[in-house]
Structure 1
Amino acid sequence: MFPVSDDNPEPGTPIVTWALIAACVAVFFWQMSLPPGADELAVYHYGLIPGVLFGSVAMADAPLPAWGTVISSMFMHGSLMHLAGNMLYLWIFGDNVELAMGRVRFIIFYVVCGAAAALTHAFLVPGSTIPLVGASGAISGVLGAYLLLYPRARVRVVFIPLPLILLRTFYVPALIVLGLWFVIQVVSGLGSDIEEAGVAFWAHVGGFVAGGLLIPFFKRRDVPFFHKPAPRVFDSRNQRRGPWG
């Protein structure tokens, strides 16, 4: 089960959300354009390496100071599926959070949540030389904010049972979708070896918690917590009649 859209329209244009998606896509195409070997080197140069950040490991010919990779790592991705999954979540949930804050505050919020996520991971493995890349930490902060602002919003999810011919889509409250997502991150983090390469579950947890803690300071004053979606309006004159008609 994973989300594909939400039914939570808000007036305004989420320019920053679109720009962040465009930037991540552009960086990924740049990564793919690099010759063999150079693409992997780019991940080491612009990904966050905890050992380098804390000074236990030196990076030769590093193009950025170690603290700069806290930000650059948010725009790097390891694969097309990695990129697509992150951008889908940002596209679904980022617009509402941006419009609830305003563009400038949303940019700051996004970067701070991404930094909190990256540092959560780095502090847990301070000597690691495995680079951390991906926007998921920052996006996790967006999810934490969305949960507190719009827990009753309807999120359209796809359920893929076996066999695949039974694929179904249905709406679920954001409280359930994002609450379950957070639980999965915690359980997965507890059950995995953080020292090994793979999904940085604790970065997701750190970003999500940061988003929930920071949202009171970043949202506009007129935006309430636990917002109740407006009832859907339809014109009965344009509806199809039932089979009994």
Structure 2
Amino acid sequence: MFPLKDNLRCLTFPIVTVILVALNCVAFVLEANMINTSGPASLMNWTLVPSQFIDAFSTGDPAALAHAVKTMFAAMFLHGGVMHLVGNMVFLFVFGRAMEARLGRFHFLVFYLISGVVAALVHIASDPTSATPMLGASGAISGVLGGYLLLWPKAKITSYVPPIFIVQIWAWWFLAAWFVLQILPVMSASGGAGGGVAYWAHIGGYVIGFIWAGAVKLVKPVTDVCYIPVPDCDTDTKKDVEEKDS
């Protein structure tokens, strides 16, 4: 399934989400230019390699440490191809705009970056000797998905199901199914990196996003910055909205 849109009405413009999408697209153009002019090996200097990251902290060399931190953040804005980029950006925009409205712009940016960092650390911990480079915004976006699941489980997601179907399903169903699809490869012999996908990074980002959103919900349980339109609500939610309006 591929998300196309949700049914939430948000009262703020998702400027940070739009900027993040734009930065990822610009980074992809620069990445393609770098590969065309200097070859694919030039990209390695900006990707996160678990074994190099561990070595940097083992030796304590300042230059190596700075490089390790740089790659952790830089890799969040790099992608392995057009479809990798487009898929990630659609997920980011569909689910990110509501998270940005709920958290606030600066808070959302911090949340996004920390989700990406945690995702990267979980990926490194899953295979610290790996020399395979990791890149992509998927870990950070997984945090957005985990947060969205907790805050808007009854939102509806319009999704494309190949080859020709368009369906509308509950957010909790879509996002729970997505999470299960990340766990299954980890339980197989692939060790969490099957098919070039960093499944452990997805799991780590998703879990921290879910926990973070839970903390936000406890501190600030009620907000009207995003809401489900009354015609799309279930019966209980409609009653709550009608009582509030009366």
User: TM-score normalized by structure 2?
Assistant: 0.83
Which residue pairs with 1:105 in the alignment? Answer: 107
Which residue pairs with 1:208 in the alignment? Answer: 206
Task: Structure 2: state its 5+ residue gaps.
Answer: 233-246
Contact 2:5 2:157 in 1 (8 A): yes
Contact 1:152 1:228 in 2 (8 A): no
Which residue pairs with 1:188 in the alignment? Answer: 185
| SS of residue in 2 equivalent to 1:127 | coil
Contact 1:71 1:115 in 2 (8 A): yes
Q: Please report how far the alpha carbon of residue 40 of structure 1 lies from its aligned counterpart in structure 2 after TM superposition.
A: 2.1
Deviations 1:62-98 (A, max 9, x none): 7952122111110011111110110010010000000
Contact 1:100 1:223 in 2 (8 A): no
Cα distance in 2 for residues equivalent to 1:177 and 1:216: 19
| SS of residue in 2 equivalent to 1:232 | helix
Contact 1:43 1:76 in 2 (8 A): no
Contact 1:120 1:206 in 2 (8 A): yes
Q: State how 1:144-163 maps to structure 2 within 5 Å.
A: 144-161=146-163
Task: Structure 1: state its 5+ residue gaps.
Answer: 162-166, 234-245
Which residue pairs with 2:89 in the alignment? Answer: 87
Counterpart AA for 2:89: M
Identity %: 36
Q: Please report how far the alpha carbon of residue 217 of structure 1 lies from its aligned counterpart in structure 2 after TM superposition.
A: 3.8
Which residue pairs with 2:176 in the alignment? Answer: 179
Q: Please report how far the alpha carbon of residue 33 of structure 1 lies from its aligned counterpart in structure 2 after TM superposition.
A: 1.4
Cα distance in 2 for residues equivalent to 1:64 and 1:31: 21
User: TM-score normalized by structure 1?
Assistant: 0.84
Q: Please report how far the alpha carbon of residue 196 of structure 1 lies from its aligned counterpart in structure 2 after TM superposition.
A: 6.4
**Residues 176 and 35 (structure 1 numbering): CA distance in 2 closer, same or farther, change over 3 Å?**
closer
| Count of residues in correspondence between the two structures | 225
**Residues 27 and 51 (structure 1 numbering): CA distance in 2 closer, same or farther, change over 3 Å?**
same
Cα distance in 1 for residues equivalent to 2:191 and 2:214: 34
Cα distance in 1 for residues equivalent to 2:23 and 2:126: 29
**Residues 213 and 87 (structure 1 numbering): CA distance in 2 closer, same or farther, change over 3 Å?**
same
Which residue pairs with 2:220 in the alignment? Answer: 221
**Residues 159 and 31 (structure 1 numbering): CA distance in 2 closer, same or farther, change over 3 Å?**
same
Contact 1:48 1:133 in 2 (8 A): yes
Which residue pairs with 2:243 in the alignment? Answer: none
Deviations 1:96-144 (A, max 9, x none): 0000000111111001100110111101111111111000000000000
Cα distance in 1 for residues equivalent to 2:43 and 2:191: 21
| SS of residue in 2 equivalent to 1:54 | helix
Deviations 1:189-243 (A, max 9, x none): 222244666001111011000101112345672546xx9723138xxxxxxxxxx
**Residues 228 and 106 (structure 1 numbering): CA distance in 2 closer, same or farther, change over 3 Å?**
closer
**Residues 129 and 205 (structure 1 numbering): CA distance in 2 closer, same or farther, change over 3 Å?**
same
Would you tell me which structure has more helix in proportion to its own residues?
Answer: 2
Counterpart AA for 1:213: I
Cα distance in 2 for residues equivalent to 1:95 and 1:195: 29
Cα distance in 1 for residues equivalent to 2:13 and 2:227: 21
1:43 and 2:40 matched: no
Cα distance in 2 for residues equivalent to 1:125 and 1:37: 32
Contact 2:156 2:168 in 1 (8 A): yes
Counterpart AA for 1:91: F
**Residues 115 and 14 (structure 1 numbering): CA distance in 2 closer, same or farther, change over 3 Å?**
same
Cα distance in 2 for residues equivalent to 1:69 and 1:86: 19
